[in-house]
């Protein structure tokens, strides 16, 4: 499950997903501190300074948060693709039939999109009224 609400009609763009990801990472380590750590790491790599143990721990924290967010962003993109497929199916309008041609077939959902469609459109069982209530 990702940040995408499959039951709503909210469309997230790539920019929306990336912005959310940056916000999540910034909630772990501020953007200003991330910039400082980048500078520290570049100096460390270039041999111009030595990063302290605490700085290396902070750098690893940012790296872990970033790697986790990369996975979350991929899940959000996959869920968004499913939602777009389902919404297109829900909004499908059959074209007018043309005389002499076979009726056009409606689109077919992938199994994953069908599962999302089923979540969005649950089938309600008919309510059984006991015979004694009807008397």
The C-alpha angle 49, 54, 58, rounded to 5 degrees, equals 95
Query: φ, ψ for residue 87 (rounded to 5)?
Result: -65, -35
For position 135, what pLDDT does the model report? Answer: 65
At residue 130, the pLDDT reads: 81
pLDDT digit string (tens) for the chain, length 135 residues:
799 999 999 999 999 999 999 999 999 999 999 999 999 999 999 999 999 999 999 999 999 999 999 999 999 999 999 999 999 999 987 778 788 888 777 789 999 999 999 999 998 888 888 888 776
**Domain range list for the chain:** 14-91+107-121
Question: pTM for the whole thing?
Answer: 0.79
Angstrom CA distances, 125 to 51, 84, 113, 118, 128, stand at 64, 28, 23, 14, 9
């Amino acid at each position: 499950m990702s940040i995408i609400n499959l039951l709503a009609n909210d469309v997230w763009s790539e920019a929306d997903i990336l912005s959310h990801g940056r916000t999540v990472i910034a909630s772990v380590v501020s953007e200003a501190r991330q910039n400082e750590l980048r500078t520290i790491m570049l100096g460390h790599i270039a041999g111009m300074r030595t990063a302290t143990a605490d700085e290396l721990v902070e750098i690893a924290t940012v790296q872990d948060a970033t790697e986790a967010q990369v996975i979350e962003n991929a899940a959000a993109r996959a869920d968004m693709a499913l939602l777009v497929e389902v919404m297109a199916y829900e909004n499908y309008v059959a074209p007018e039939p043309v005389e002499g041609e076979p009726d056009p077939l409606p689109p077919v959902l992938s199994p994953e999109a069908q599962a999302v469609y089923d979540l969005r459109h649950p089938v309600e069982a008919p309510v059984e009224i006991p015979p004694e209530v009807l008397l």
